[in-house]
Structure 1
Amino acid sequence: MRAPGFWWDRNSLAAKALQPIGAAYGALTRQRLQKPGRKVDIPIVCIGNPTVGGGGKTPTAIATAALLVQAGARPVFLTRGYGGRHAGPMRVDPAYHRARDVGDEPLLLARAYPTIMSRKRLDGGLHAARVAGADFVVMDDGFQNPSLVKDFSVLVLDAGRGIGNGLVFPAGPLRSPLIPQLRLAHALLVIGDGSAADNVIAAADRVGLPVFRGRLEPSAEMVEELQGKPVLAFAGIADPEKFFGTLRQHGIEPRVTHAFGDHHRFTKAEAEKLLAEAKEKKLTLVTTQKDFVRLDGDGPLAALRKATATLPVRLVFDDPEEFLRLAVEKIKRAD
């Protein structure tokens, strides 16, 4: 899904027309957020966002798990597996499963720590709690799902995108009214630069929600390898322009860009077109890690995967010590 332009314009006719539906949907989701969840045998850390689409949840989940590992914890990830054909619950094996099986995020998570994929959060949480050796769960998304008790919940927000027009889906990008979401969270993490999230930071301050800052850092090795090369960049994520901007910020100038919808499943025809254009214009193909794991298949898709470079990114906290202190405090309080 590509975010419509009116999500960033509160006064647009489309946003105004859809506002009554958004208000009704917001009332339902707000009520749903209040439902009691089930407590599993080990603590749950939830990394979500207040809006539809991406905001850096998966890199944040991996970085949060890594911080807790430094404190001696043993994580297991829980993810829904958007776009995969299996319902789960099941443990993801990146050597065996493909994106068409389990979705793209589970494959990225499973490269770091054990990962359970389940469309039903409760079933997945119960399954994750039984993974041998694990002593806490990190949920990638699922903040608005009330089926599980979350012991430490973090809302992630892109500083450059914010919450758009501040309206609830479908009139805007919010999954539920903002303030009730902030009151249920334990921390707000704002990623990157920009002022679009300033109003959310102010709202978080008003409700006493701790605010942290972070940034996505690309692999220095890949930046060095791609600098100076003319590239064709393509991405099927929530905000492809953010990826293209990251390339430019690090001295990698895309001569051509192609944006696709979030979780886009590439076709053989699209693969052939990208390969032909890169060959004709003598460009190096580059994409995101999430897109790369979706390039599974034979023929043109296999050729595109072989020809494409990726630019891995990692989430870096500005104050990892304080973030870890708060996370450990909440987790211990839950025991």
Structure 2
Amino acid sequence: MKTPDFWFTPPDRPALAARLLSPLGSVYARATARRVARKGWKAPVPVICIGNLNAGGTGKTPTTIALLQMLAARGVAAHVVSRGHGGRLEGPVRVAGQSAALVGDEPLLLAAFAPTWVAKDRAAGVRAAVAAGAPVVLLDDGFQNPSVQKDLAIIVVDAAKGFGNGRCIPAGPLREPVAAGLARADLLLSIGSAPLTPPAGIPHLHGRLQPLPTGMDWSGARVLAFAGIGHPEKFFDTLRGLGADLAATQALEDHQPLTDALLSRLKAEAVRLNAQLVTTEKDAVRVPASFRPDILTLPVRLALDDPAPLVAALDRILS
């Protein structure tokens, strides 16, 4: 679902729709507050939550990958537990060879880096990971899910979009008010070059998504780019920044199924434009095998300007 434009109007100049829907947003906020007040199960191993306050994509998956790599450098082989958005399996089940239709695209991508579990019941997923020997569990999303206590909670936000108009769903993009959410968090990570002034009292990390060198020279490459992520335009801007010639772009809905009909249409359009199809790493795991030879992937990785606050937090929970 495309996020409404009025969600990201300035907080001091709210759109009419936001004002009209604010009473419903207040109801949503109160319901979230009641839910998160419940005390969940305390796992016998550290649980790190990579969450957000906004609905939609903010960069949680690249953050999870970066954390897995930081932990691996310390000799810690963490497991991941994900709800599996877009998948049909209830779980808990370990991701191994299933399709995105069953487990979701993000778990498929994360499974290339660490043992990954899909579970609608987060506590059951963490229990399964612990039973399989996980020394640390990363929760991909789930900040507003109270079923498991978090030893470290990281809130990820898109620096350019921030917290939108500051209102809760459906009046704005927030799952809960900013002050309430950050009061339960340990770190705030803003991704992107835009300035973001966070509320006082929470350590603030700055990061950016950098293309992973793959040997492909994108300079002057004529491409048809498509993406079904939270903010497809960020992917298109990354390609432009690498010097690619975007003959056309196709913004899809987040987690949108890549059907044969859709990909056949995109392939035909690429042929007509004499362009190469290219997509994101997350979208690529949803591409049927028969189309994969026709599509290039541009992976990105999170780079932190100063990882010291995160390193200190990891030291605390691993000691």
Aligned equivalents of 2:100 and 2:218: distance in 1? 26
C-alpha contact (below 8 Å) 1:76/1:131 kept by paired residues: no
Superposed CA offset, 1:165-192 (max 9, x none): 1110111101111111001000001111
Identity of aligned residues (%): 44
Which residue does 2:287 correspond to in 1? Answer: 295
Aligned equivalents of 2:313 and 2:43: distance in 1? 21
Q: How many residues end up aligned between the 2 structures?
A: 316
Q: Is the counterpart of residue 158 in structure 1 residue 158 in structure 2?
A: yes
Q: Which has the higher helix share?
A: 1
Q: Is the counterpart of residue 286 in structure 1 residue 269 in structure 2?
A: no
Which residue does 1:193 correspond to in 2? Answer: 193
Q: Which amino acid in 1 is paired with 2:15?
A: S
Superposed CA offset, 1:257-286 (max 9, x none): 010111111222211210110001100101
Aligned equivalents of 2:288 and 2:41: distance in 1? 37
Pairwise CA RMSD? 1.3
Which residue does 1:237 correspond to in 2? Answer: 229
> What secondary structure, in the 3-state scheme, does the structure 2 residue paired with 1:226 have?
coil
Aligned equivalents of 1:322 and 1:183: distance in 2? 17
> What secondary structure, in the 3-state scheme, does the structure 2 residue paired with 1:220 have?
coil
Aligned equivalents of 2:250 and 2:77: distance in 1? 39
C-alpha contact (below 8 Å) 2:205/2:307 kept by paired residues: no
Q: 1:322 to 1:163 in 2, by over 3 A?
A: closer
Q: Is the counterpart of residue 90 in structure 1 residue 90 in structure 2?
A: no
Q: Is the counterpart of residue 101 in structure 1 residue 102 in structure 2?
A: yes
1:32 Cα offset (Å): 1.4
Superposed CA offset, 1:3-50 (max 9, x none): 111111252121111111011101110221221010112110000011
1:114 Cα offset (Å): 0.7
Which residue does 1:216 correspond to in 2? Answer: 209
1:227 Cα offset (Å): 2.1
Q: Which amino acid in 1 is paired with 2:256?
A: H
Equivalent residue runs for 1:30-109 within 5 Å: 30-93=33-96, 96-109=97-110
> Where does the alignment leave 5 or more consecutive residues of structure 1 unmatched?
none
1:331 Cα offset (Å): 4.2
Q: Is the counterpart of residue 271 in structure 1 residue 239 in structure 2?
A: no
Q: Which moved more, 1:317-326 or 1:110-119?
A: 317-326
Q: TM-score, normalised by structure 1?
A: 0.91
Which residue does 2:117 correspond to in 1? Answer: 116
Aligned equivalents of 1:180 and 1:85: distance in 2? 32
C-alpha contact (below 8 Å) 1:46/1:138 kept by paired residues: yes
C-alpha contact (below 8 Å) 1:99/1:296 kept by paired residues: no
C-alpha contact (below 8 Å) 1:48/1:142 kept by paired residues: yes
> What secondary structure, in the 3-state scheme, does the structure 2 residue paired with 1:215 have?
strand
Please identify runs of 4+ aligned residues in structure 1 that moved more than 4 A: none
C-alpha contact (below 8 Å) 2:92/2:118 kept by paired residues: yes
Equivalent residue runs for 1:198-209 within 5 Å: 198=197, 201=198, 203=199, 205=200, 208-209=201-202
Superposed CA offset, 1:227-250 (max 9, x none): 211110011111001111111112
Which residue does 1:174 correspond to in 2? Answer: 174
C-alpha contact (below 8 Å) 1:164/1:172 kept by paired residues: yes
Which residue does 2:313 correspond to in 1? Answer: 326
1:126 Cα offset (Å): 0.8
Q: Is the counterpart of residue 144 in structure 1 residue 144 in structure 2?
A: yes
> What secondary structure, in the 3-state scheme, does the structure 2 residue paired with 1:262 have?
coil
Which residue does 2:296 correspond to in 1? Answer: 309
Aligned equivalents of 2:236 and 2:184: distance in 1? 34
C-alpha contact (below 8 Å) 1:30/1:177 kept by paired residues: no
Q: 1:169 to 1:3 in 2, by over 3 A?
A: same
Q: Which amino acid in 2 is paired with 1:187?
A: L
Q: Is the counterpart of residue 252 in structure 1 residue 244 in structure 2?
A: yes
Q: TM-score, normalised by structure 2?
A: 0.96
Superposed CA offset, 1:142-169 (max 9, x none): 0110000000000001111111111101
